[in-house]
Structure 1
Amino acid sequence: MSPARLRGSWSRRRSRARDRSRTLTPTARVLRLRRRISLLFALTSAVGLVAMAVLAVRSDSGRWREQLDHTMDADTSWALGLLETDADGQLVLDVLADSVDTACPPLTVLLVDGDDPAALTVEHAPAKPCLTVSRAVVLEAGRAAVRADGVRAFDGRTTDGDPVRVFAQPFYAPEAADDAGPQGVLVTLADATAQRDDHRRLVWLVTGGCVVLVLLSAGVGHVLSGRAVRPALAALDRQEAFLADAAHDLRTPAASLRTLAETALRGETDGADVHRRTLRLAEGMGRLVDGLLTRARLMSGTAAVARQPLRLDQLVEAVAEEAVEASSEGHRVRVEAEETVVVADPDLVRRAVGNLLDNALAHGHAPGVPADVLVAVARDGTLTVEDAGPGLPPEVAGALFERFRSGSGSTGLGLSIASWVAHAHGGTLTAGRGARGGARFVLRLPSPD
């Protein structure tokens, strides 16, 4: 394939990947991020555990070899002390043969033949050794010790295939010069079967432990990543709830405005009446937008609660007076307030009280009958709003302060905001049946100490 085609194919793959990324919803992207975090956590743990496992295995491998080498070094050092030479400088092995059972561990004496370090001859070897290796292995160990002019040890195999440790230690003529080479080499063997078996068990144990720990870390990482992305998912849920509230609340007044405009264009309605109705709809939409923004700020925690001493009785009287003046249906609001001071945010409390009054004036009366609302303020910071309407429907009583919940087809956004304001101040908002059969809302706010 030509370079131009390769570049085009790569570009198309990248384009498809970008398209797939764009089609993912925000929630799906957060969940994908959670999976990537979990995978990264597991991979990081796996790399660390594998590195530690490799170090442990290598350390154990070197440890058991050092133990065998130390034992064989002691054996060969003692055996070298038994080597003697005659008057002609020839090596005498009688004392070694008489004093040491060279069958186990097997001790083989090699002599350097001439000036060539590679030319070795077997001077003594056990007749029936407990460990049997090929002559080539023994000679190679001797040559390595002569070339290095020092001790050498390495792994090997017996003729039966069992693991052994081969150890070679050179020795020198008694009257040899300092720069003279070794006179010969003493080679011994050690059975490494038990050590190899123990090492293999350790390898399997470490491997199994790493697998278990990696799986455990993957599970822990999945849980931790879930907790990490939980605020993001909650924020997305709040955003979707806000958009749903906005769409739900604004759909009806927007449709009413369109209908009103179409009616005015056809000339079927008086112009002054159209203006009045348009103004009322615009004011209602403004209140809806204001309420939605307040609720969004409360839910996201961006609305700062400016707590300060507040005369609750005066605020309630002012809000009640404004509500009566704004109503054109002859509603009645009675206020029974004692002098009360609470610690709260004036703007938020005003909105909560206004929403409770609006709810009572809108739903707390029979059709065609003016509302009769009683508002009471107690010294302990308790505000009671009670109407004489039909009361709370059983189907909404359990979820009255959730969005899209009310008694007569509205969204219930005002009650939701009032509940949020109460909880933001450390207070409560409860609903129940009043003494006159209508709804009774009780808002409790903290009083100054």
Structure 2
Amino acid sequence: MLTAEARIRRLRWRLTALFALTSALALAGLAGFAIYSDSNARRDQLDDRLRLRGTATAKLIVYDDQDRLDIQSLLDIVGTECPQVTMVTVTSDTPAIAYAPPKPCMHAAEADVRRLATTAVAQHSAVSADGHTADGRPVRLFAAPFDGPSGESAAGAVVLAADASGSQAQHQLRLVLIIGSLVLVSVSGLAGHLLSGRAIRPALTSLRQQEEFLADAAHDLRTPAATLRALAATALHEQAGHPQPAARTSALQRTEHLAARMGDLIDGLLTRARLMAGVATPVREPLRLDQLVEAVVEDTDTQGHRVTVVTERAVVVGDVDLLHRAVANLLGNALAHGHAPGVPAEVRLAVTGDGTVTVDDSGPGVPPELAGSLFERHRSGSGSSGLGLSIASWVAHVHGGSLTVATSPTGGARFVLRLATS
């Protein structure tokens, strides 16, 4: 069974083939129309040339004193050059060859020549038709009637025959059209492949994001789940065997802490999935950024750390829930990593009127080589999911803002969240 990515890539090749096939059919139609139009134009040109010469030749037909055909003047001019000239007399609807070149440049079928001459005499007008040589090559025939001795009716017709199998220019045109069509089909196929690749790129990106989300969930929930099971087993063992209230209480506290952390992980993963999949539509409404930051600090368990809040009135347009999570993630990151082991953290949050939230801590800071990749997943250091800062960065970009990191004046890290004000 093919994977989802393999099916998407197979769809890309099918789209490429469909694009190339459509282009090939269109080009074949255009090439056929061009060849047909060129053939008609060349045939019309050939007919004009035959008509001009045939009409002039028919006027050279004269009679002697005994009303017999005098074709000497015709012989002096026609000779054996092409187009081939044949004179046919028609008496009582019975055509007879009165003159045929002794060394013709082609051997047009006599049946075709006689038939066309009969038609021209019957209609008393010039006619054209397609014919064939003895070996099957196509020829173009033209018949111009000439009058009899009395001048009252047509006595016969001059029939001209010219090769209609196509000139070298026609063959070159067809070759150019075939080669050009192949090149254009190849180019259109390549263009279709590139365009279809760009079209399916969002689908592949969404698929990879889904796979990353599942990998994140498996990676981040496996360890807390195993630890929860071990702590629960320890608590049950202590309760069933030799009760030690202090150990049992510590195990249960750690269990509660890990359960809360798993809840935060799940919320973070769901938020990240919604943002990356584009299904989370931020609710744009005016809100007080300073009040939101104060509410985040009040809702956070600082666990003995010192948090200072300095705010100015700032009104921004954004999603309350997403901004609340972004600020909470920044504060949680400062409380977790912004201090030395065993020393309470000193975190300072400042909100300015231009929609900027600054979070300073007193930790070791961020090395310059990690500043560019700090907002990628799994970059927040040991003991955390690595999603907090990446989610905060995504929230900032969703709101048209930015999240940057620098060195704090206290020596720790400074995270600056900038949002657009109303």
TM-score scaled by structure 1?
Answer: 0.82
Residue 208 (structure 1) shift: 1.3
2:17 aligned residue (28, 36, 39): 39
2:99 aligned residue (111, 114, 124): 124
Q: What is the correspondence of 1:286-301 to structure 2 with a 5 Å cutoff?
A: 286-301=263-278
Contact 1:142 1:185 in 2 (8 A): no
Amino acid at match of 1:124: Y
1:48 aligned residue (20, 26, 46): 26
- Corresponding residue for 2:209? 238
Contact 1:400 1:406 in 2 (8 A): yes
- Corresponding residue for 2:356? 382
Contact 2:109 2:131 in 1 (8 A): no
Amino acid at match of 1:141: V
Cα separation, 2, equivalents of 1:31 and 1:261: 47
Q: What is the correspondence of 1:164-243 to structure 2 with a 5 Å cutoff?
A: 165-169=140-144, 183-190=155-162, 196-243=167-214
- Corresponding residue for 1:362? 336
Cα separation, 2, equivalents of 1:127 and 1:141: 16
SS of residue paired to 1:225: helix
Q: Cα–Cα, structure 1 residues 445 and 93, in superposed 2: closer, same or farther, change >3 Å?
A: same
SS of residue paired to 1:211: helix
Amino acid at match of 1:306: V
Of residues 272-281 and 379-388 in structure 1, the stretch that sits farther from structure 2 once superposed is: 272-281
Pair 1:154-2:154 in alignment = no
Cα separation, 2, equivalents of 1:421 and 1:403: 14
SS of residue paired to 1:442: strand
Contact 2:143 2:159 in 1 (8 A): yes
Q: Cα–Cα, structure 1 residues 91 and 266, in superposed 2: closer, same or farther, change >3 Å?
A: farther
Cα separation, 1, equivalents of 2:264 and 2:217: 12
SS of residue paired to 1:342: strand
State the percentage of identical aligned residues: 51
- Corresponding residue for 1:111? 89
Contact 1:132 1:158 in 2 (8 A): no
Amino acid at match of 2:286: P
Cα separation, 1, equivalents of 2:75 and 2:102: 14
Cα separation, 1, equivalents of 2:100 and 2:117: 18
TM-score scaled by structure 2?
Answer: 0.87
Cα separation, 2, equivalents of 1:227 and 1:422: 27
Q: Cα–Cα, structure 1 residues 236 and 314, in superposed 2: closer, same or farther, change >3 Å?
A: same
SS of residue paired to 1:431: strand
Contact 1:145 1:152 in 2 (8 A): no
1:307 aligned residue (267, 284, 291): 284
Cα separation, 1, equivalents of 2:274 and 2:406: 28
SS of residue paired to 2:13: helix
Cα separation, 2, equivalents of 1:200 and 1:316: 81
Amino acid at match of 1:313: D
1:318 aligned residue (284, 288, 295): 295
Cα separation, 2, equivalents of 1:51 and 1:162: 26
Unmatched segments (≥5 aa) in structure 2: none
1:332 aligned residue (279, 283, 306): 306
Unmatched segments (≥5 aa) in structure 1: 1-22
Cα separation, 1, equivalents of 2:226 and 2:369: 28
- Corresponding residue for 1:13? none
After TM superposition, what 4+ stretches of structure 1 lie above 6 angstroms from structure 2? 174-178
Count of paired positions: 411
Pair 1:249-2:223 in alignment = no
Cα separation, 1, equivalents of 2:68 and 2:415: 114
Root mean square deviation of aligned Cα = 3.0
- For each residue in 1:356-394, what CA deviation from the matched residue of structure 2 results, as whole angstroms up to 9, or x when unmatched? 010011111112222111111122221111111111245
Residue 147 (structure 1) shift: 6.4
SS of residue paired to 1:435: coil
Cα separation, 2, equivalents of 1:273 and 1:204: 88
Contact 1:338 1:378 in 2 (8 A): yes
Contact 2:345 2:361 in 1 (8 A): yes
